[in-house]
Structure formats: C-alpha cells, structure tokens
Amino acid sequence: MIASTPSTATPAATPVALAPITDLSLTSLRQVVTELGHPEYRGDQIAAWVYRSPVGSFDEMSNLPKSLRQALADRFRFGALALEAEFVSSDGETRKAALRLVDGDLIESVLMRYPTRDDGTGAERSTVCVSTQVGCPVKCAFCATGLMGFTRNLGTGEIMDQALHFLRWSRAVPPTVRNVVFMGMGEPLINYDATMGAVALLVDAVGLGVHRLTVSTAGWLPGMSRLIEDKYAVRLAVSLHSPDDALRTTLVPLNKRFPLATLLEACWEYQARTGRRVTFEYTLLDGVNDTPALARDLVALVRRHDVHINLIPMNPVAYLPFGASRPEAVEEFHRIVREAGVICTVRREMGRDIRAACGQLRTELQGREPVRASTVTA
C-alpha cells in the first residue's frame, strides 16, 4: 500500500460574505454613492428602492445607471436573510418566519395583524416583532429563547431585514405594517448600536414615526442609560414579571445585578426625559406570580407614575416547568390592578398554534437540546 503524502497546498480561502446594503445608515449610503463617483441624491433613490418598494435586487432599480447597479451588487448583498420556513395561524392573523442568516443560523420574526373589532371600533393594523440576537444571554426562566444559549449579536441589516420581510409582504396584502417591536429573540439593549441603527432606518428611510417603535428590555441598565440620551425616543417596554425582588431574580436572573429599585429609578428617569409612558410586561405564570397579593404589590410600585401594565398569558414551552395562569386568576389580577387606577390590559393570545412564543419555532427547527449555560456577565 502506498502511503499518502500530506498536502502542502494552501487551502482555498473561504469567501467573505458581502455586507447587506441595510447595514448602512442613510448618511453612509450617500457617502458610498459619492465615493463611487455618482451624485449624492442617488443614495436617496437607492434607499427608496430598498425600503419603500417591492424589488428584490439592485438590477431592478430602473432609475439608476447600470454602472451604479453593478457597483452596488459587487459590494453589497441586497438582503441579509433567506426565508427558511413560514407558518400562518389558523385565524390568519399571525405569521411566523424562521429566517436563515448567512452563517447558517436561524432567527425568528413574527407578523401580527389586528382586524377592526367586532363592534366596529379600532383600525386595522399590523405589527412586526423582530429579533436582535441569535439566542439570548439573559435567560429568563420561562422563555424558550433562553434554552438555546447565546450565539451572537445581529447586525443592523439582519435586524432591519426582518421588518422589511413583512413590510414588503403587507404592502401587497394590507393592512401595511405600521408598528415594529424589538421583542423577539435576544436583549435589544445589550446589542444597542445595531438595534438603534435599525430604529434610525425605520424612521428615516421607511418613514415610521418613532412613537410606532418599541424596544423591550429585561432591565439592562447600561442600555437604558443610553436610550434616555438617544435622539430616537422610542417607546420602552420593561419585562417586569414580579414586584418582588427575590421572585424576580428567580424569573429574570438579570435582576440580581440590577434589582427593582435601580431598574425603576431608570424607568422614571426615562419617563421624565422623554415624556413617554412606560409599559411593564408581566407574563402570568400559574401559581408563581399571579396571586392577588402580588397584584397589590405591583400597584404599590407603579401607581404614582404614568405606566401601562401589559398582562401576558404564558405560552407554554416544552422543557420548562411553567404553565399558563387559570383564566379566573388572570381576571382577578387584572381587576385588582385596573381598579387601583393603573392602566392595565390583558394581551390577546395570538399564534399559539404556530409556536409564536419567542424562540419556540427556532428551537424546533434547529432540533437542539436546551442549553442552560451561565447568564450574561457583560
């Protein structure tokens, strides 16, 4: 048998993926265009094609010179994501997409469509929920995303293209998306620059009002401090889930680092600086945080401030020991908070039949066992 000789040839370099055009701010896009030898206004034309039209390639941008279209294609990808799978709820009001990143991983985004109410009130509207990280380092105890561990932050384009996926679809099938919430996989304020880069594009390129954008946080105070100073005064939703420090630490491990008193101080400063109401998200877990006593404690924490308590029925997750609160417990909790004069609503359940809770679909499609690594320490 002839022994094989180890190869001395240099392995071929793995091609580096081009950055998506949606990674660029409008200012950067205009700068790129001028560096390519074209007038600055071409940057605004490109933005109009990317953010306000249904086209899917640079070649379709018919009012641009062919040389510019080719230069863009040589330097950028048109989109950051590929659709892996999409599911529609039985009532047709929720669509959940699993989107493939260029490195092969998956993220989730959800479209929620709200029809006019049966009594004829309210306007038809659509909201997109986008992810900001692959997995999540915060690991809230009842969240499917926390089971998958943390891989990396998403780039601005990867966040932005989730919203664009459903924006383009809804323009053809109204109602068109007019609200975007950063409440999908991940902690947005840990990935602050990319998250707010997407916010800037949604405002400046898509044309959404900043009041139509909501960033959710489990209480990452370094990011909240930056948000207070940011010119894009987006709405803030804080994942509270308990008015008791010990219980909240069990449910939201980040509370050990940033306890309730510190978190609420930041919330009230945000409110004073921006003039915006703070929303507190409160996922109701059967026999855990849904008691009348905790409802009264919650009222005591927030009643002097302009807040909205959003009660969320638990969407059960495999591998986790929590169940949804009984309807009578939800009703009683809601009654106590509302009768104390605090704005309080129960979120309408949407998409349970298509695994619409954060992280559920991605976990199923990836086929991975749950991960219970250490929580964020950054």
Active site residues: 108, 358
| Single-letter residue type at 208 | L
**Per-residue three-class SS string for 6-23:** CCCCCCCCCCCCCEEHHH
The DSSP code for 40 is T
Enclosing H/E stretch for 82: strand 82-88
Q: State how far the Cα of 81 lies from the Cα of 76, in Å rounded to an integer.
A: 13
Enclosing H/E stretch for 84: strand 82-88
Q: State how far the Cα of 324 lies from the Cα of 312, in Å rounded to an integer.
A: 9
Which residues, other chains included, contact 337 with Cβ-Cβ below 8 Å and sequence gap of 6+?
A: 295, 298, 299, 309, 311, 344
Burial of 211 (0-12, 13-18, 19+ CB in 10 A): exposed
The DSSP code for 121 is -
Q: In sequence order, what are the beta bridge partners of 33?
A: none
Q: How far is CA 69 from CA 22, 41, 57, 72, 240, in A?
A: 15, 15, 9, 5, 48
**Backbone phi, psi, residue 45, to 5°:** -65, -45
* 3-class secondary structure, 119: coil
